[in-house]
Structure 1
Amino acid sequence: MSTCRLCGSASLAGVVDLGATPPCELFLTAEQLDLPEVTYPLRLRVCTSCWLAQLPPLITPEETFTEYAYFSSYSTSWVEHARRFVAGAGLRPDSFVVEVASNDGYLLRHVVERGVRCLGIEPSENVGRAAAEKGVPTLTAFLSPEVGARVRAEHGPADLVVANNVYAHVPDVVGFTQGLRALVADDGRVSVEVQHLLALIEGNQYDTIYHEHFQYYTVASARRALESGGLHLVDVEPLPTHGGSIRLWATPREAPVSRRVDDVLALEKAAGLHELSGYRDFAARVAKVRRDLLRFLVDAADAGRTVVGYGAPGKGNTLLNHCGVRPDLLAYTVDRNPYKHGRFTPGSRIPILPPERIAEDRPDYVLVLPWNLRDELVEQLSYVRGWGGRLVFPVPRLEVVA
């Protein structure tokens, strides 16, 4: 990658190099274990002109999202987050809501329950079918300016367009943003939720760097990205989701800007994220996470302790591959999503089993890979304490808890 995908600058500085890994959601079947896996470099850079942190577009969205392994509804806390958003969105009976990357209908099902007209635009055929089965109208497509214009022509302009955890997944930032603008009414609103680069850097959240994330946003770079497609940032809400996210509110017309925008910009500037100083020690802190986790796993194996995983998220596959963890150190992991059962994690090739297996085997330690759901999972896994088992959180620093 020689130029920034947002502003075209050739001034890109390295942030961290995580080696080479396969795409994080390409879980393997047993038949695929004897076949080669393609890996791609995983190197994060930042543009010193617009401060968009980015990966080279080495894979296409079509390779990842046509058949997708992630179903949002398996996270109880995420469904509740979506319910609260819909409840506070100020929808009217005659409103029209469009969600881009609507997944399995985790959010729009709450809109349907209110009797409000809506449409999901979801590129993954398998999760889109799951949404349709729940009564959520769903179009299978990748958003583009053309798709946005077609939806507007067929269904009318949207009063609210929602784009949760998709703005990082699109290599054509400008075209995608133009698609959002095509969908929304001239007096409508666009809500974009995306992980905050400030939280990623300060919290050592390097495992959220993977190939299906093409970029990582500060409010400064997100504002420029929205403007590239004809949208104006008017407000920002810091969120605890995914280890620290931001909800960006934008409109087609210029409007008064909330003071919160300036407040978050000031936090980013104080952290050095509008210059290179804020990125310089990140790679060293990432290396320490790797060393600490490997030391723990090797010591546990030498002591005859059993360690299994909980969850098979994309972030977990970045962590496992970067650390070189294999089944000799992590016997298996479990996941609530039946789609993943009987499959193996990409690269590390760790078996994925149903969650009930933990209670059957009573391991000494459970390594929690979706650490961002800590509160939810500490409650779900409270039964592990019954046999003296302990939970292990690898990020932002290694922590073993009872």
Structure 2
Amino acid sequence: MTRCRLCGSATLASVVDLGATPPCESFLAAEQLDLAEPAYPLHLRVCTDCWLAQIPPLIKPEETFTEYAYFSSFSTSWVEHARTYVADAVERTGLGPDAFVVEVASNDGYLLKHVVDRGIRCLGVEPSVNVGAAARDAGVPTLTAFLSPETGAEVRAEHGPAALVVANNVYAHIPDVVGFTQGLRALVADDGWVSIEVQHLLTLIEENQYDTIYHEHFQYYTVASAIRALASGGLALVDVELLPTHGGSIRLWARPAEAAGEPSQRVADVLAREKAAGLQELSGYTEFSARVAKVRRDLLKFLVEAAESGRTVVGYGAPGKGNTLLNHCGIRPDLLAYTVDRNPYKHGRYTPGTRIPILPPEQIAADKPDYVLVLPWNLRDELIEQLAFVHDWGGRLVFPIPELSIVEGASSKEVTA
């Protein structure tokens, strides 16, 4: 990668190099285990002109999202997050019964079903055939397509302009950030709203969340770089919310530039935090690689010592972020016997690169392992509650990020390794 995909600058500085890994959602069937598996460099760099952090666009979205393994509805807390969001958005934007709402990357309809329940006309734009079909089965109107300026214009021509366009956890997933933003502008009414949720680079850096760097995520935003990205499509940021989701996200409220007005004080406050953290200069990025290396060493030390002492360790969850962690650390079934996941799509498959089997969640209670390594650490509170039964036989939960910690006993006492 030689130029920034947002501003075209050639001044890109290395942040962290995680080596080469397979695409994080390319789970393997048993018959694929003896076949070659492609791996691609995973090297995060930051543009020193617009400060957009990014990885090379080595994989086309069509390769990942046509058949997709992630179904949002399998996370209880994520469904509740969507319900709360819809209620708040209706109040903020004054959506009435005649409004039209579009969600881009609407997955299995986990969010728009709350819009449907309110009797508000809506449409999901979802590129993955399998999850889009699940949304339609659930009663959520869904178009199977990638968003582009042309797609946005076609939807607008057929359905009218949208009072609200939602783009949650997709703004990082598209290599053509300018074209995608232009697509958002094509969808939204001239006096409408665009709402975007995306992981905050500030917390990614501060909390060592390097496993959220994977090939599906082409860029990583601060509010400052998001303002530049939105402007490329004729949108202006008017407000921002800091969210705990995915370890720390930002919810960006934008409007067409001609209707935006002055941004809120919260925008200024978050920009000041980012500047204080050094994220508009190289000093904010220089120590990250060393802290990533420590996460790897600490986790490997724990797993090796557990194996040598005869203690069993299994995983919980098979998220994309978990595959970045497993591949970067070089973890194989000798250190992690298997992992489990609530998504039946993944059962009987294997993690990309590391070839760890994925089983149904009931396997944990059947085997009673000594430790359960929780890979979707961003659902920490939800999973500590769901996995409380592990303590019944003296088992313990292990969280690898932001630093290795072990949850001891039913009291959830935490010990930092």
Q: Distance in 2 between matches of 1:34 and 1:256?
A: 58
Deviation at 1:254, TM superposition (A): 2.9
| Equivalent of 1:254 in 251, 257, 260 | 260
- Contact 2:316-2:340 within 8 A present in 1 as well: yes
- Give 5+ residue unaligned stretches, structure 1: none
Do structure 1's residue 310 and structure 2's residue 311 form an aligned pair?
no
Q: Distance in 2 between matches of 1:294 and 1:347?
A: 17
Partner of 2:322: helix, strand, or coil? Answer: helix
Q: Distance in 2 between matches of 1:47 and 1:205?
A: 20
Deviation at 1:323, TM superposition (A): 0.1
Deviates more, 1:86-95 or 1:155-164: 86-95
Do structure 1's residue 112 and structure 2's residue 149 form an aligned pair?
no
In the TM superposition, what whole-angstrom CA distance separates every residue of 1:129-153 from its partner, at most 9, and x where no partner exists?
0000000000000000000000000
In the TM superposition, what whole-angstrom CA distance separates every residue of 1:258-311 from its partner, at most 9, and x where no partner exists?
000000000000000010000000000000000000000000000000000000
Do structure 1's residue 344 and structure 2's residue 350 form an aligned pair?
yes
**Which runs of 4 or more aligned residues in structure 1 lie more than 4 Å from their structure 2 counterparts after TM superposition?**
none
Who is 1:389 aligned against?
A: 395
Do structure 1's residue 52 and structure 2's residue 56 form an aligned pair?
no
| Equivalent of 1:129 in 126, 130, 133 | 133
| Equivalent of 2:106 in 98, 102, 111 | 102
Q: Distance in 2 between matches of 1:181 and 1:197?
A: 24
In the TM superposition, what whole-angstrom CA distance separates every residue of 1:210-254 from its partner, at most 9, and x where no partner exists?
001000000000000000000010000000000000000000023
Deviation at 1:175, TM superposition (A): 0.2
Deviation at 1:95, TM superposition (A): 1.1
Partner of 2:33: helix, strand, or coil? Answer: helix
Who is 1:325 aligned against?
A: 331
Percent sequence identity over matched residues? Answer: 82
Q: Distance in 2 between matches of 1:195 and 1:347?
A: 25
Deviation at 1:255, TM superposition (A): 1.3
| Equivalent of 1:155 in 142, 159, 167 | 159
- Contact 2:238-2:253 within 8 A present in 1 as well: yes
The equivalences for 1:64-75 within 5 A come to 64-75=64-75
Q: Distance in 2 between matches of 1:296 and 1:254?
A: 51
The equivalences for 1:79-90 within 5 A come to 79-90=79-90
Do structure 1's residue 196 and structure 2's residue 186 form an aligned pair?
no
Partner of 2:260: helix, strand, or coil? Answer: coil
The one-letter amino acid of 2:269's match is: D
Deviation at 1:200, TM superposition (A): 0.1
The equivalences for 1:165-204 within 5 A come to 165-204=169-208
Q: Distance in 2 between matches of 1:257 and 1:223?
A: 11
In the TM superposition, what whole-angstrom CA distance separates every residue of 1:311-364 from its partner, at most 9, and x where no partner exists?
000000000000000000000000000000000000000000000000000000
In the TM superposition, what whole-angstrom CA distance separates every residue of 1:20-75 from its partner, at most 9, and x where no partner exists?
00000000000000001000000000000000000000000000000000000000
Do structure 1's residue 210 and structure 2's residue 214 form an aligned pair?
yes
Q: Distance in 2 between matches of 1:316 and 1:256?
A: 40
Aligned-residue CA RMSD (Å): 0.4
**How many corresponding residue pairs?**
402
In the TM superposition, what whole-angstrom CA distance separates every residue of 1:4-27 from its partner, at most 9, and x where no partner exists?
000000000000000100000000
Deviation at 1:88, TM superposition (A): 1.2
| Equivalent of 1:241 in 239, 245, 253 | 245
Q: Distance in 1 between matches of 2:396 and 2:254?
A: 44
Who is 1:277 aligned against?
A: 283
The equivalences for 1:9-48 within 5 A come to 9-48=9-48
In the TM superposition, what whole-angstrom CA distance separates every residue of 1:105-139 from its partner, at most 9, and x where no partner exists?
01000000111100000000000000000000000
Deviation at 1:256, TM superposition (A): 2.2
Q: Distance in 2 between matches of 1:177 and 1:234?
A: 16
With normalisation by structure 1, the TM-score equals 1.00
Q: Distance in 1 between matches of 2:70 and 2:247?
A: 18
Q: Distance in 2 between matches of 1:335 and 1:71?
A: 12
| Equivalent of 1:225 in 223, 229, 235 | 229
Do structure 1's residue 288 and structure 2's residue 294 form an aligned pair?
yes
The one-letter amino acid of 1:258's match is: S
Q: Distance in 2 between matches of 1:255 and 1:161?
A: 19
Q: Distance in 2 between matches of 1:373 and 1:227?
A: 33
Partner of 2:315: helix, strand, or coil? Answer: strand
Deviation at 1:93, TM superposition (A): 1.1
